[in-house]
Structure 1
Amino acid sequence: MTSRRVPPPLMDAVLVGVALLDVWVNVTAAEPLRLGFALAAAFALALRRRVPLLVFLIALPAVALNDAIFAGLAALYTLASLSRRRFLLAACALAFTVCDMISLPSPELDLTKTATLITLGYTAATAAAPVFLGQLVQTRRDLSLRLAEISEARDHERLLTTQTVLAKERAQLAREMHDVVSHQVSLIAVRAGALQVGTRDPEIKDAAATIRRLSVQTLDELRHMVSVLRASGGRPAELTPQPSMADLQRLVDGSGIQAELHTDLPRPPPPEPVPPGGEAAAPGPAGGPQAPDGLPPTVQRAIYRTVQEALTNVRKHAPGAAATVLVRHHGGAVRVTVTNTAPTRPALPLPSAHYGLVSLRQRAELLGGTVDSGPTPDGGYELRLELPAQGHA
């Protein structure tokens, strides 16, 4: 069941009404100075969420001049529920205690009397109560936020686990198709070709030619299916080709954090899927289609996986941080830098195998590149990748 919270404007109106009732009970119209300060403190409660410290300062004179202290207590509670500065809250509680003890314009505060000390203790307890209550509400609000983040993080981890299992199943299926099915279909094509050459019967020759043609077509389709099944990182419900530079902007936009992509490399449109039995584009020199800037698919995938891992780490370990992704081509090398600002909230204690950066370094070394990372002076973090533009020779 979802809890029904009172709308903030209605709550503010109720507090203003209670404060006005407190003024009506404790202040008479024959005292215009006290009445004016008390009314100002009561109506200032309407702004308590926007400027809590100012509202408390407006309420202090009313506390010192008369017995209408409800507005001061409400302002102190609001300040404690919104502020994290403990020293400020202690100073405000002390100021409230002093103002409530004195009686302006003729202060009477004799600390040598036992009754005065007892009253001082009760007044200090009265001032401390809204401070503790406000801090308790603030802690409860932070806890609710942390629980929501933990739930979101668990859902994300569950999705990653599902994608990992699916990728393993795809790889296993691809191996089976490549090792077993492709071999058998190749054998069928060879035997059909031998039969086509060795027979003199026109009908058998035509049938063997048809079998051979269909076998070759099936092999082409199997090769395409194997390449698709080996893809990883796609959605669980679909099979997609390996990611490339064309998918980098979509990755940044869908990262779930505030992130920007800046690159001087052209971003080609994603390649269209090849229909079964159709002809794919001629592969580039690196074994696959290349971007207009000549980056081979292996380099494109390394860039994509590096940015993906970096943004995932920002999401997990730097809540509230913003990230900037820079991709530059200079001097025959591609440099990728992912920098995030300092987190605005404490990081959640999420489980991690710490294999992400190790995997990125291994991938970069295979391509003749390097990966290094470290904190920035402003409390953020930076991940840097450098690869030869044409991959490892």
Structure 2
Amino acid sequence: MSAGRALWRRVPAWAVDAGLVALAVLDAWVNLYDEGTPLVWSCVALGSAALFLRRRFPLTVVLLTLPMTLFMDVAVAPIAALYTLAASTRNRPLLAGCALLNAAVGTLAWPLSDALTGDRTWTLVEFVYTLATAITPVLFGQLVQARHDVALQLVEVEEAREHERALHAQNVLARERAQLAREMHDVVSHQVSLIAVQAGAMQVAAKDPDAREAARTIRSLSVDTLDELRHMVTLLRASGGKETELAPQPTLADLRQLIANSGIETTLTGELPADISTTAQRTVYRTVQEALTNVRKHAPGARAEVRLWHDAHHFGVTVTNTAPTRPSVALPSARHGLIGLKERAELLDGTLTAEPTPQGGYQVELRAAARPD
């Protein structure tokens, strides 16, 4: 089945349309035999040739096939036109109107006086039959359109799940690093502090110059070790889930690339001070990354705006998205991403807010105190 579908997709569109035009002409010729007048053949030529334009102007092609339907019992041209229209629009009242119009024209006989003086019961039966024939390609076109929409949603679901798994892995790493940071701060730093205190006391109490120098060296090394531990604890707490802090970390310079690769129509405005810390830059980057990921997962088709801002005392970023243009697929979420962003904001003495907007969208805002690195 998949091999046949792949082979069918390799056929050029113009070849498919040319085949439909040939079938439409053959269908008309079979039904006309030798009774065709120049007017009838003109309608056949117009309706059949219009199939070349069915992909660009489907409604116009449906209307151009009606004259040939009035003169003969043709099926290829009107069915192809109705199917193309149904596969390209979601306007169901329009589709119902076109099906009714096709059935009405197909039921009439030329000249019209013959149709109006005939058996009305048989005319009604023929109308119902013709209407069923017209509705069939409409339903099939809608089915194909729905299948295409489902396929797109499945792709979005898979992408969202990949992002969810990546974020979950990052959150697990962040929790492990936070736990390691607490252990280093509460246990190791405490022990080294005691060593420094004891060495200082020994330096004061020692009478031997060599012992005093040794105590001074121990105290100096302990103080340096405490500084290194504090720096490591800060790095571990600010880590966002990368496998190692030695790997290149994102900064504000990477924001445009992040937005370009997000797959969302996004505008970037404003700027931040050039002297904000690298930790703050990573926090801004991660906030934008998480917000755009949530837009892709929960607001399909929405547009987003990333606004960087700062004043004398604060700086931050606001990510706002519009309402979704199509329904989203419900995905399991433990909201680990927003929790991690709030922890990052707290490290900067800031806050993170996430709430819906009155217009049906969503807004995520990071606000942090302005301070140099």
Judge same fold: TM > 0.5, yes or no.
yes
Q: Distance in 1 between matches of 2:197 and 2:342?
A: 44
Please, what is the CA RMSD of the aligned residues? 4.2
Q: Summarize the alignment of residues 48-197 of structure 1 with structure 2, pairs less than 5 Å apart.
A: 48-110=54-116, 112-181=119-188
Query: Match for 1:86: what amino acid?
Result: R
Structure 2: where are the runs of 5+ without partners?
Answer: none
The question of 1:262 aligning with 2:269 is answered: yes
Q: Summarize the alignment of residues 207-222 of structure 1 with structure 2, pairs less than 5 Å apart.
A: 222=229
Moved more, 300-309 or 253-262: 300-309
**1:305 Cα deviation after fit:** 5.2
Correspondence for 1:12: 17
The question of 1:344 aligning with 2:310 is answered: no
Q: Secondary structure at the match of 2:18?
A: helix
Q: Distance in 1 between matches of 2:369 and 2:114?
A: 82
Query: Match for 1:143: what amino acid?
Result: V
| Greater relative contact order (CA < 8 Å, ≥ 6 in sequence) | 2
Q: Distance in 1 between matches of 2:100 and 2:59?
A: 14
* CA displacement 1:288-315 (0-9 Å, x = unmatched): xx42xxxx67866665554444323322
**1:128 Cα deviation after fit:** 1.0
Conserved 8 A contact 1:234-1:240: no
Query: Match for 2:329: what amino acid?
Result: L
More helix by share: 2
Identical pairs, percent: 51
Moved more, 136-145 or 100-109: 100-109
* CA displacement 1:139-174 (0-9 Å, x = unmatched): 111111111111111111111111111111222233
Structure 1: where are the runs of 5+ without partners?
Answer: 269-289
Q: Distance in 2 between matches of 1:370 and 1:178?
A: 25
Moved more, 356-365 or 82-91: 356-365
Task: Determine which of 46, 49, 62 is the counterpart of 2:52.
Answer: 46
Conserved 8 A contact 1:339-1:383: yes
Q: Distance in 2 between matches of 1:335 and 1:231?
A: 17
Change (3 A) 1:337 1:128: same
Q: Distance in 2 between matches of 1:166 and 1:183?
A: 25
Conserved 8 A contact 1:16-1:42: yes
Change (3 A) 1:112 1:69: same
Q: Distance in 1 between matches of 2:176 and 2:342?
A: 25
* CA displacement 1:71-108 (0-9 Å, x = unmatched): 11110011111111111001000110011111234453
Q: Distance in 2 between matches of 1:360 and 1:209?
A: 43
Q: Distance in 1 between matches of 2:93 and 2:112?
A: 30
How many residues align? The count is 362
Q: Secondary structure at the match of 1:350?
A: coil
Q: Summarize the alignment of residues 255-294 of structure 1 with structure 2, pairs less than 5 Å apart.
A: 255-266=262-273, 268=274, 290-291=275-276
Moved more, 360-369 or 115-124: 360-369
**1:339 Cα deviation after fit:** 2.4
Conserved 8 A contact 2:172-2:241: no
* CA displacement 1:161-192 (0-9 Å, x = unmatched): 11111111222233344445556667778889
The question of 1:375 aligning with 2:357 is answered: yes
TM-score normalised over the length of structure 2: 0.78
